Structure 1
Amino acid sequence: MSRKRFPRLGAFEPKLIREALVSSVLKLDLRQQKENPVMLLVEIGGILTTISSVIEISTQKSPFFTIFVSFWLWLTVLFSNFAEALSEGRGKARAASLRQSRTSVPARKLKEESFDATFSEISSSDLRKGDLVLVKANEIIPGDGEVVKGAALVNEAAITGESAPVVRESGGDRSAVTGGTTVIANEIILKITTDPGQTFLDRMISMVEGAERRKTPNEIALEILLIALTGVFLAVVANTYSVSAYSAASSGRGSPASLTILIALFVCLAPTTIAALLPAIGIAGMDRLFQLNVIALSGRAIEAAGDVNVLLLDKTGTITLGNRQATEFLTVNGRSNEELMEAALLSSFADDTPEGKSIIALIQEKTGTASFSPENVTFIPFSAATRVSGAQCGEITYLKGAYDAVTKSVLERGGTIPSDLKGKVDGVATAGGTPLVVARNETIFGVIFLKDILKTGIKERFADLRRIGIKTIMITGDNHLTAATIAAEAGVDDYLAESKPDDKLRMIREYQNEGYMVAMTGDGTNDAPALAQADVAVAMNNGTQPAREAANIIDLDSDPTKLLDIVEIGKQILMTRGALTTFSISNDIAKYFAIIPAALIGIYPQLKILNIMGLATPESAILSAVIFNALVIPMLIPLALAGVKFKSMPASKLFAYNLTIFGLGGVIAPFIGIKIIDLVLAGLMYT
Structure 2
Amino acid sequence: MTRHDKTTHNHSDHQDDASMAHSKDMDHMNHHMDHADDHMMDHSMHMGNLKQKFFVSLILAIPIILFSPMMGLDLPFQITFPGSDWVVFVLATALFFYGGMPFLKGAKMELSMKNPAMMTLISLGISVAYLYSLYAFIMNTFFHDTHVMDFFWELATLIVIMLLGHWIEMNAISNAGNALEKMAALLPKTAKLVGDDGSTSEVQLSDVTVGQKLLVQAGEKIPTDGKIVEGKSSVNEAMVTGESKEVEKTVNDAVIGGSVNGNGTLTITVTGTGESGYLSQVMALVSKAQQDKSSVETLSDKVAKWLFYVALVVGILAFVIWLSLTGDIGIALERMVTVLIIACPHALGLAIPLVTAKSTSLGAKNGLLIKNRQAIEVARQVDVVMMDKTGTLTEGNFAVNEIISYSNENGYNKQKILAYIAALEQNSSHPLARGIMTKATEEKVDLPVATQVENIPGTGLDGTIDGHDVKIVNVSYLKDHTIDYNATDFTHLSEKGNSISYLLVDQQLIGLIAQGDQIKSGAKRMITALKAQGIKPVMLTGDNEAVANLVASELGIDDVHASLKPEDKETIIKHYKSEGKTVMMVGDGVNDAPSLVRADIGVAIGAGTDVANDSADIILVKSDPADILHFLTLAKNTQRKMIQNLWWGAGYNIIAIPLAAGILANWGIILSPAVGAILMSLSTVIVALNAMLLKMND
**TM-score when normalising by structure 2:** 0.52
Determine if contact 1:436/1:447 at 8 Å carries over to the other structure: yes
Match in the other structure for 2:446: 370
1:318 corresponds, among 376, 381, 392, to 392
Matches within 5 A, 1:345-356: 345=418, 348-350=421-423, 352=425
Matched, 1:267 2:306: no
Match in the other structure for 2:309: 231
1:497 to partner: Cα distance: 7.3
Amino acid at match of 1:365: E
Matched, 1:621 2:686: no
Match in the other structure for 2:154: 72
1:457 corresponds, among 522, 526, 537, to 522
1:515 corresponds, among 569, 576, 580, to 580
Matches within 5 A, 1:239-278: 239-241=317-319, 259-270=333-344, 273-274=347-348
Relative to 1, partners in 2 of residues 1:132 and 1:87: Cα closer, same or farther, differing over 3 Å? farther
C-alpha distance in 1 between matches for 2:652 and 2:563: 59
C-alpha distance in 1 between matches for 2:514 and 2:216: 45
C-alpha distance in 2 between matches for 1:577 and 1:330: 55
2:488 corresponds, among 393, 398, 404, to 404
Amino acid at match of 1:623: A
Q: What's the % identity of the aligned pairs? A: 18
Match in the other structure for 1:414: none
Match in the other structure for 2:73: none
Determine if contact 1:295/1:553 at 8 Å carries over to the other structure: no
Determine if contact 1:339/1:445 at 8 Å carries over to the other structure: yes
Q: Per-residue displacement from partner, 1:657-681 (whole Å, max 9, x unpaired)?
A: 9xxxxxxxxxxxxxxxxxxxxxxxx
C-alpha distance in 2 between matches for 1:643 and 1:175: 50
Matches within 5 A, 1:157-196: 175-176=257-258, 193-194=273-274
Amino acid at match of 1:494: D
Choose 29-38 or 272-281, whichever is displaced more. 272-281
1:603 to partner: Cα distance: 3.9
Choose 35-44 or 24-33, whichever is displaced more. 24-33
Matched, 1:496 2:560: yes
Matched, 1:46 2:129: yes
Amino acid at match of 1:493: I
C-alpha distance in 2 between matches for 1:339 and 1:109: 45
Q: Per-residue displacement from partner, 1:263-293 (whole Å, max 9, x unpaired)?
A: 233332357755678899999999999xx99
C-alpha RMSD over aligned residues:
7.4
Determine if contact 1:213/1:299 at 8 Å carries over to the other structure: no
Determine if contact 1:344/1:359 at 8 Å carries over to the other structure: no
Asked which structure has the greater RCO (Cα within 8 Å, sep 6+), the reply is 2
Matches within 5 A, 1:63-212: 66-67=149-150, 69-84=151-166, 116=199, 175-176=257-258, 193-194=273-274
Q: Per-residue displacement from partner, 1:200-234 (whole Å, max 9, x unpaired)?
A: 8xx99x99xxxx97773431786455323321233
Gaps of 5+ in 2: 1-46, 58-97, 110-118, 232-245, 450-464
Q: Per-residue displacement from partner, 1:290-316 (whole Å, max 9, x unpaired)?
A: xx99999x9999998997643443433
Determine if contact 1:113/1:132 at 8 Å carries over to the other structure: no
1:50 to partner: Cα distance: 0.7
C-alpha distance in 1 between matches for 2:468 and 2:649: 81
Number of residue equivalences: 538
Q: Per-residue displacement from partner, 1:476-509 (whole Å, max 9, x unpaired)?
A: 65666x75553354x4532537646699688657
Determine if contact 2:395/2:519 at 8 Å carries over to the other structure: yes
Match in the other structure for 1:553: 615
Q: Per-residue displacement from partner, 1:430-457 (whole Å, max 9, x unpaired)?
A: 999899999999xx99998866422343
Match in the other structure for 1:587: 649
Amino acid at match of 1:266: L
Determine if contact 1:309/1:470 at 8 Å carries over to the other structure: yes
Relative to 1, partners in 2 of residues 1:565 and 1:80: Cα closer, same or farther, differing over 3 Å? farther
**TM-score when normalising by structure 1:** 0.52
C-alpha distance in 2 between matches for 1:564 and 1:275: 34
C-alpha distance in 2 between matches for 1:136 and 1:486: 34
Relative to 1, partners in 2 of residues 1:591 and 1:214: Cα closer, same or farther, differing over 3 Å? same
Q: Per-residue displacement from partner, 1:97-131 (whole Å, max 9, x unpaired)?
A: x89x99xx998998978874899x9997xx79879
Relative to 1, partners in 2 of residues 1:237 and 1:581: Cα closer, same or farther, differing over 3 Å? farther
C-alpha distance in 1 between matches for 2:424 and 2:153: 76
Amino acid at match of 1:72: E
C-alpha distance in 1 between matches for 2:191 and 2:494: 54
Match in the other structure for 2:79: none
C-alpha distance in 2 between matches for 1:537 and 1:129: 35
C-alpha distance in 1 between matches for 2:696 and 2:420: 50
1:644 to partner: Cα distance: 7.9
C-alpha distance in 1 between matches for 2:360 and 2:195: 42
Match in the other structure for 2:83: none
2:120 corresponds, among 37, 48, 64, to 37
C-alpha distance in 2 between matches for 1:539 and 1:479: 23
2:296 corresponds, among 218, 221, 224, to 218
Amino acid at match of 1:584: L
Determine if contact 1:83/1:280 at 8 Å carries over to the other structure: yes
Determine if contact 1:146/1:193 at 8 Å carries over to the other structure: yes
1:60 to partner: Cα distance: 3.0
Match in the other structure for 1:474: 539
Matched, 1:17 2:51: yes
Match in the other structure for 1:669: none
Gaps of 5+ in 1: 1-12, 152-165, 179-184, 389-396, 407-424, 612-617, 648-656, 658-687
C-alpha distance in 2 between matches for 1:351 and 1:540: 33
Residue 539 of structure 2: SS of its match in structure 1? strand
Matches within 5 A, 1:430-445: none
Amino acid at match of 2:474: S
Q: Per-residue displacement from partner, 1:138-163 (whole Å, max 9, x unpaired)?
A: xx99x996578999xxxxxxxxxxxx
1:42 to partner: Cα distance: 0.7
Amino acid at match of 1:46: A
C-alpha distance in 2 between matches for 1:447 and 1:136: 31
1:342 corresponds, among 415, 437, 448, to 415
Determine if contact 2:648/2:683 at 8 Å carries over to the other structure: no
